[in-house]
A and B are shown apart, each in its own frame.
Chain A
Amino acid sequence: MAKVEGYGGAEHSFWKNMVKHRAHIVLALPAFLIMFFILYVPMVGLVVAFKNYTYSGGIFGSEWVGLDNFKFLIASKNTFITMTKNTVFYYLVFTSIGTFLNIVLAIAIDQCVFKKSAKTMQTIMIIPVFISYAAVTFIVDAYINGSLGLINRVFGSSTRFYSEPSYWPIILTIVKIWNSVGYGSVLYMSVLAGIDTGLYEAAQIDGANKWKQIWHITLPELFPMITVMLLLSVGGIMKSDTGLFYQVTRNSGQLYQTTQVIDSYVLNQITRNSNFGYTSAATLFQSVVGLLMMLVSNGIVRKLAPENALF
């Protein structure tokens, strides 16, 4: 009896709470609805992975085909494996080099005693992130264009970069670093700015030089932010900066071997109006792997440093 009463009481107090907080429900509603229609409903769209999708049939009218789309996906070894491999490869390269350079740059700017110049330089370093990939395409072309490009002119060569897949891992990495390192370091700098200067002074009195200070004070203070940023990025292991792979490579088919990632593949399939069921199977694979990676990495962080875990 007591249990039932308690339950009823909880229910009662829940509705009372809702009435009391009705203004907060209203405030949350617009964003709630936008997320529902833009982010949640498309999750349902993934059922297309199990269907033979036709435009007229729509999502629910198209016929079920079970796992056929996945069989096709695995059967088309080359495309699927190549693009998955590329996606993971670029994720690893961009994340490792990117994080490392973000930290180095943040510490370098923080340590620089020429504060005014450092600030101006930082302003310039952040600019590339604000240049869209549609525009970056033209800038990259100015450097690597076969006959007019700066690189071929300077070295007197005539490399046709747009039909040579082997150069692209390097080109894309350089473009990505140029684009994002200055911006990425801002977050770490904000942490550095928050470090109690008393810690450094104390270390100095104890005779620690700059390098010891960086190693024993700066890096440990940065560690939580590094963990969070890596954790956040792991969920995106199957996702890519689509513009970089689709625009900057000019979507050149000759380069797919080293430049096709899942996201650019999906974009191609949509614009060419190809088999959506099959493409959707690739998307579902991408989303599920992302989810698993996220759960695993969050689990690890929760064990190591619970206060930094996302959930």
Chain B
Amino acid sequence: MAKKDLDMVSSGRRERKGVGQVILLICLIIYTLFCALPVILVFVSAFADDMSITQNGFSYFPDKWSMNGMNAVLKYGKQLFTSYGVTILVTVVGTLLGLLVMSMYAYAISRPGFKLSRFLSIYLIIPMLFQGGTLSAYIIFTNAYGLKDSLWLLILPLCVSTMNVIILRTFIANSIPAELMEAAKIDGAGDYRTFFQITLPLMKPSLAAVGFMMATAYWNDWQNAYLYISSDNKKPLQMLLIKIQKSIEFLLNNNNVPASVRAAMGNSIPEYSATMATVIVVIGPIMVAYPFFQKYFIKGLTVGSVKG
């Protein structure tokens, strides 16, 4: 890829603007295809006939199309439904909670004259420099807090992050006129009212940007579920994918699984098109939601990072 992009840079060098632009466009199209083709393969495979995959391998042009893969997703029925519920719950609660507490913190540390704000800023930065790491967190959460198999372990670890607070703080400092807050105070609004009725609504672009990034992180988080969640009714969507992966591996590594075991595994024997259909079900919502958020998401980052 590096080479391709280099070509893109050098090719337009002595050419007139028109030709250079066309070459640039072609290079961008090639890179776009590089990004899109793997995703397209998922969709094609999900709607391909499973027999044509097992016989001819994965292909962009399967011999036969079929809806069986999509129908087979329903066989995960109850678990899929539960997992969807868990993922949506964790994503919504985590994102809203995180946005609320982080914007409150960002607001507090950017108040002029507040003598704790320096201490709170340092307190915020330290975890970026030094972390306990996955193992320590695991030991503390399970042993010291006695939390295990709890949805809080999916919500709290991703809830507050230094970077996101910094983005929010930068936004408050650069894009919300301090005079507004002062004016509110002169008009007799208390500190809480100033924050919730003046500042918070004005933070919308940065909240949308940070919120979307958080929601994605929650939606895609597999590691916390993998470490802490054991009961099926608390497993998020990503765990469903890992479970399918595990059963494929089990079958691959055990070619001589007795027929009786296969029969016992019954309808959980994975099929390629069904697996890809499941992948679509898992990644679909984010891909649908993302274009709507893109405007906010890019704008939010813009306002948050460019000094005003």
Interface residues of A (CB under 8 A from B): 14, 17-18, 21, 23-25, 27-28, 30-32, 34-35, 37-46, 48, 53, 55, 58-59, 97, 100-101, 104-105, 108-109, 111-114, 117-118, 121, 123-135, 137-139, 142-143, 145, 147-150, 152-153, 174, 177-178, 181-182, 186-187, 189-191, 193-194, 210-211, 225, 232, 235, 242-243, 247, 250, 263, 266-267, 269-271, 276, 279-280, 283-284, 286-287, 290-291, 294-295, 310-311
Residues of B with C-beta under 8 A to A279: 135
Contact A190 B301 (CB under 8 A): yes
Q: Does B298 contact A (CB under 8 A)?
A: yes
Contact B116 A150 (CB under 8 A): no
Distance of B78 from chain A, by nearest CB (Å)? 20
Contact B245 A295 (CB under 8 A): no
Contact A104 B21 (CB under 8 A): no
If A125-B35, A190-B298 touch, whether A104 touches B8 (CB-CB below 8 Å) is: yes
Q: Does B276 contact A (CB under 8 A)?
A: yes
Residues of A with C-beta under 8 A to B306: 190-191, 193-194
Contact A59 B143 (CB under 8 A): yes
Residues of A with C-beta under 8 A to B101: 30-31, 34
Contact B305 A266 (CB under 8 A): no
Distance of B208 from chain A, by nearest CB (Å)? 14
Contact B57 A138 (CB under 8 A): no
CA gap between A232 and B128 in the complex, in Å? 9
Contact A153 B2 (CB under 8 A): no
Residues of B with C-beta under 8 A to A194: 302, 306
Contact A108 B276 (CB under 8 A): no
B1-17 vs A, CB cutoff 8 Å, 1 = contact: the mask equals 11001101100110001
Contact B132 A135 (CB under 8 A): no
Interface residues of B (CB under 8 A from A): 1-2, 5-6, 8-9, 12-13, 17, 20-21, 24-25, 27-29, 31-32, 34-36, 38-39, 41-42, 45, 53-54, 56-59, 100-102, 104-105, 107-109, 111, 113-116, 120, 122-141, 143-145, 156-157, 159-160, 163, 165, 190-192, 195, 216, 219-223, 226-227, 238-239, 241-242, 245, 249, 272, 275-276, 279, 282-283, 286-287, 290-291, 294, 297-298, 301-302, 305-306
Contact B127 A39 (CB under 8 A): yes
Residues of A with C-beta under 8 A to B17: 210
Interface centre among B35, B160, B238, B298 (most CB of A within 10 A): B35
Q: 14 A–B contact pairs at CB < 8 A?
A: A14-B115, A25-B116, A41-B132, A41-B140, A59-B144, A111-B24, A117-B28, A125-B35, A142-B42, A225-B305, A243-B223, A247-B245, A250-B245, A294-B129
Contact A101 B1 (CB under 8 A): yes
Contact B54 A148 (CB under 8 A): yes
Contact A286 B133 (CB under 8 A): yes
If A42-B131, A132-B283, A266-B133 touch, whether A127 touches B39 (CB-CB below 8 Å) is: yes
Residues of B with C-beta under 8 A to A190: 298, 301-302, 305-306
